[in-house]
Structure 1
Amino acid sequence: MSGTVTSDPYERSAEYLDIMIAAAWEPLAPALADVLSRVRAVDGAVVDLGAGSGRGVRAIRDALPQAPVFAVEPSAAMRAVLLARVYEDDELRGRVTVVPGDAAAEWPDGVRAVVALNMIGHLPPGRRRELWERAARHLAPGGLLVFNATGPFVPVEVERVRMAGVVIGEMEYEGWAAARPTGADEITWRMEYDVLHRGRRLTGASVEYRWWVAEVDVLAGEAAEAGLVLRRTGDPSLGLCVLERAAEPTSISS
């Protein structure tokens, strides 16, 4: 099956994504919970941008009991998984609003946190800056935005590599990833998913999508223009970054 760039690359891959990312979320969920513990005393909802299949939503629930969550997801295919995960959990069903939209979707006023994991690369530079500016306007005092920045940080070729594999029943599911430079600050990922039975491929899917890359220092500079300070946090391998409003200068009277 040939891969093509589509408006919703997850339309064909949503079947596999949740199980492919499960292992990656084992360290990421507690790290996210640790960051969110800093805003337990802050009022307001949490906005989860690119909520995907809802693994981040569960981490938010565990870290911030009672906080309303707005789970924003543009892909209808991924929302199907997200909605099922929310509906089957009584607590999530009462607290989580699933919003069909992207980073430009409407936010409630005075949010305590914005979670943007595994999605910043989907935004071209102009829309990235819009996100920083919007966060600076909408975050409640003491609120934060958390995202992860992982390589590549410049447009380079990434050789095809097996990123995940799981066994469910008699089926084995594999995910493969490769990338090629397609612009001055952009790469195109090619993701392939195979379903194997006793070593024989039965079915699968492949898809390509654009991904904008930038060094963390560049992201910090963009955020600073919006009045936000970037700090790295946690295990460096996770690439977690926190944005908070810059402290107001203190006036000194003579």
Structure 2
Amino acid sequence: MLDPYERSAEFLDLLIAGTWQSLGPALGEVLQQVRAGSGPVADVGAGTGRGVRAICAALPGDDPVLAVEPSSVMRAVLLARVHEAPELRERVTVLAQDAAHASLPDGLRAIVAVNVLGHLPPDERRFLWESASRRLAPGGALIVSVTPPFVPERIPRTRMATATVGALHYEGWATAEPSGADEITWRMDYRVLRDGLPLSEVAVDYRWWVASEGQLAEEAAEAGLVMRAAGKPDLGLQLLTRQGE
């Protein structure tokens, strides 16, 4: 399968840095709500490792962190980030797997899947709910992010992020079109400019599955999980625990 990140990985970590300035601390606060006191933490769809860094900062100690990332180009940035930081290098194991095939152990303190659900078709989403229900330690939790759009709809072209490094300015633009009963296709345009003049542009399409919070909560309930909002509403973080815990 073609990896869309082969063309966009150059820009992604740079352009998501601003988002993680608020998302990282918020994720840390939600992790503090998890009642399980110890055990490994899995970051499924770890990307370039900004979430891994937030997890380790929020949960100091030596409990292992499993960073699951299927894209080799994203994993290259992730592994470099882990290796260059001693506090990460001693705890974090990087796994070249995806959410549906990750070899996760039992007794997990938490599973983190931030900015991941849209990558998963409905059957793989249900696998995530069922895996969490089986693998979490008592009091453990699955943490996901749920953000719009919740139905297939057109998203007008919007500048999502910018950054400047040296003499070059980087921009990320997004638009989306419905492409199925429960999916959209994102078109991402990454531009590099110097003195206001374009040097290069890369366009990448991403397939993205959409679902409402209610639909996701119903799916999770079928696997014995209860979903509730956690943290600032605009970030869309949701905490899922087993029924009765």
TM over 0.5: yes
Residue in 1 that maps onto 2:12: 17
One-letter code aligned to 1:166? A
Alpha-carbon distance in 2 for matches of 1:59, 1:194: 28
One-letter code aligned to 2:13? D
Query: Which of residues 36, 53, 57 in structure 2 aligns to 1:62?
Result: 57
Query: Which of residues 173, 190, 215 in structure 1 aligns to 2:187?
Result: 190
1:139 is aligned to 2:136 = yes
TM-score of the two chains, using structure 2 as the length reference? 0.97
1:77 is aligned to 2:73 = yes
Query: Which of residues 81, 99, 105 in structure 2 aligns to 1:108?
Result: 105
Q: Is the 8 A contact 1:144 1:244 kept in 2?
A: yes
Q: How does 1:203-222 map to 2 (within 5 A)?
A: 203-222=200-219
Identical pairs, percent: 61
Alpha-carbon distance in 1 for matches of 2:36, 2:117: 27
Residue in 2 that maps onto 1:251: none
Alpha-carbon distance in 2 for matches of 1:182, 1:47: 31
- Residue 7 of structure 1 deviates from its aligned partner by 2.5
Q: Is the 8 A contact 2:35 2:139 kept in 1?
A: no
- Residue 204 of structure 1 deviates from its aligned partner by 2.8
**Secondary structure of the corresponding residue to residue 47 of structure 1:** strand
Q: Over the residues paired in the alignment, what is the CA RMSD in angstroms?
A: 1.1
- Residue 133 of structure 1 deviates from its aligned partner by 0.5
Give deviations 1:75-125, integer Å, cap 9, x for gaps: 000001001100100110110000001002100221000000001100011
Alpha-carbon distance in 2 for matches of 1:163, 1:40: 35
Give deviations 1:184-230, integer Å, cap 9, x for gaps: 00000010101101111112311101100000000000000000000
One-letter code aligned to 1:241? Q
1:168 is aligned to 2:172 = no
- Residue 233 of structure 1 deviates from its aligned partner by 1.1
1:86 is aligned to 2:116 = no
Q: Is the 8 A contact 2:36 2:138 kept in 1?
A: no
Alpha-carbon distance in 2 for matches of 1:223, 1:238: 20
Residue in 2 that maps onto 1:33: 28
One-letter code aligned to 1:201? P
One-letter code aligned to 1:196? L
Residue in 1 that maps onto 2:40: 45
Residue in 2 that maps onto 1:244: 241
TM-score of the two chains, using structure 1 as the length reference? 0.93
Structure 1 residues not aligned, in runs of 5+: 1-5, 249-254
Q: Is the 8 A contact 1:40 1:64 kept in 2?
A: no
- Residue 43 of structure 1 deviates from its aligned partner by 2.1
Alpha-carbon distance in 1 for matches of 2:121, 2:82: 30
Give deviations 1:154-200, integer Å, cap 9, x for gaps: 00000110000111111000000000000000000010101101111
Alpha-carbon distance in 2 for matches of 1:191, 1:67: 37
Alpha-carbon distance in 1 for matches of 2:33, 2:229: 14
- Residue 127 of structure 1 deviates from its aligned partner by 0.8
One-letter code aligned to 2:191? D
**Number of residue equivalences:** 243
- Residue 38 of structure 1 deviates from its aligned partner by 2.3
